[in-house]
């Protein structure tokens, strides 16, 4: 199935070789509208599923941004949509086979660290997989990665430093911290958020970890960026809604795009 997807895509992109992959999270998808050379709907690609979340478009977009060849997922597959975890990470394997060396994974997240405010951007320094499932379960493809891959540095240290430097040059405030993934789709309870804080999380969300684990396993460099869209349950007294999350992502969107475009230029 992987080869069918890769061959299908190659047939549509006329020799284009992406070196950077970007997974665009909720409300952050416009980078793909701004720069789009070829767009392939997920529903056309063998092995891809249709994305079911509003605010997620569901296409693979190829573009040149700041002199680099990029492939973007405009919309991702979430475990909570009912896809198997292997389907969630399938596009990352496809990107690897297309030649992608660096994956930028983005998401909307809830702030667990009380110092975070809605619309803050956070560079992910590490993660906690609290989804109860690992995307590498199953037969291992030894040609892509090890059976027991080291996860000591999923998020490439050199690039964390680079992103921080670029943000500071642009005058963009950047938080940093640990992202904890839960399955969703329900948001956390206040007790779960207190637990998340105790075990070392700064933000909580429902994505990113499966893709980052898979990319790291496959030898890709990884950059993780969260848009903190709300204070997680119990951190503030305000209740949570998906529309508030999308609104906060919209407020952060231009800052996020400016940062990502400059990061693309420098890596």
Contact set with ligand HPA (CB under 6 A): 108-110, 187-188, 204-206, 229-230, 232, 240, 245
Report the residue number, 51 or 69, with the smaller CB distance to ligand HPA: 51
Report the residue number, 162 or 240, with the smaller CB distance to ligand HPA: 240
66 is catalytic: no
230 is catalytic: yes
Report the residue number, 31 or 232, with the smaller CB distance to ligand HPA: 232
Residue 219 dihedral angles phi and psi, to the nearest 5°: 85, 15
Q: What is the spatial distance between Cα 173 and Cα 195, in angstroms, rounded to a whole number?
A: 27
CB 134 within 8 A of CB 221: no
Specify the residue for token string 């490439």: 156
CB of 129 to ligand HPA, least distance (A): 14
The catalytic residue among 72, 73, 81, 119 is 81
The catalytic residue among 19, 39, 80, 84 is 80
Report the residue number, 6 or 229, with the smaller CB distance to ligand HPA: 229
Are β-strands 68-74 and 59-65 bridged in parallel, bridged antiparallel, or unpaired? antiparallel
Q: What is the spatial distance between Cα 227 and Cα 106, in angstroms, rounded to a whole number?
A: 8
Are β-strands 68-74 and 174-181 bridged in parallel, bridged antiparallel, or unpaired? unpaired
CB of 187 to ligand HPA, least distance (A): 5
Q: What is the spatial distance between Cα 189 and Cα 27, in angstroms, rounded to a whole number?
A: 24
Report the residue number, 55 or 145, with the smaller CB distance to ligand HPA: 55
CB of 233 to ligand HPA, least distance (A): 7
127 is catalytic: no
CB of 109 to ligand HPA, least distance (A): 5
Specify the residue for token string 């509208």: 33
DSSP 131-180: SS--TT-SS--TTT--SS---TTSS-HHHHHHHHHHHHHHT--EEEEEEE
CB of 188 to ligand HPA, least distance (A): 6
Element (H, E) at 4: helix 2-13
CB 258 within 8 A of CB 170: yes
81 is catalytic: yes
34 is catalytic: no
Report the residue number, 135 or 205, with the smaller CB distance to ligand HPA: 205
Q: Is the dihedral of CA 46, 7, 222, 27 positive or negative?
A: negative
The catalytic residue among 32, 56, 220, 249 is 56
CB of 167 to ligand HPA, least distance (A): 21
Other residues' Cβ atoms within 10 Å of the Cβ of residue 46: 14
The catalytic residue among 129, 207, 226, 231 is 207
The CB-nearest residue to ligand HPA is 110
The catalytic residue among 73, 78, 232, 249 is 78
The catalytic residue among 134, 195, 242, 250 is 242
> Which residues are known catalytic residues?
26, 56, 78, 80-81, 108, 206-207, 230, 242
């Amino acid at each position: 199935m992987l080869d069918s997807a890769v061959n299908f895509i190659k047939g549509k992109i006329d020799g284009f070789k992406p070196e950077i992959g970007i997974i665009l999270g909720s409300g952050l998808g416009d980078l793909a509208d701004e720069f789009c050379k070829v767009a392939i709907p997920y529903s056309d690609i063998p092995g891809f599923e249709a994305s079911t979340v509003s605010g997620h478009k569901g296409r693979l977009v190829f573009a040149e941004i700041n002199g680099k060849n990029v492939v973007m997922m405009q919309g991702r597959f979430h475990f909570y949509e009912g896809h198997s975890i292997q389907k969630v990470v399938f596009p990352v394997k496809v990107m690897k086979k297309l030649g992608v060396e660096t994956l930028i994974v983005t998401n909307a997240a809830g702030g667990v660290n009380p110092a975070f405010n809605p619309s803050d951007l956070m560079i992910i320094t590490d993660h906690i997989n609290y989804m109860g499932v690992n995307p590498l379960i199953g037969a291992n493809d030894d040609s892509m990665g090890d059976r027991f891959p080291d996860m000591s540095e999923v998020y490439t240290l050199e690039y964390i430093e680079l992103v921080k430097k670029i943000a500071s040059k642009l005058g963009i405030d950047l938080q940093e911290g640990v992202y904890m993934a839960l399955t969703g789709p329900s948001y956390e309870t206040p007790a779960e958020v207190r637990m998340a804080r105790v075990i070392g999380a700064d933000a909580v969300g429902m994505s990113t970890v499966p893709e980052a684990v898979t990319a790291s396993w496959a030898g890709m460099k990884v950059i993780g960026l969260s848009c903190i869209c709300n204070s997680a349950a119990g951190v503030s007294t305000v209740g949570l809604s998906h529309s508030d999350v999308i609104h906060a992502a919209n407020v952060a969107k231009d800052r996020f795009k400016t940062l990502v475009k400059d990061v693309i230029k420098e890596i």
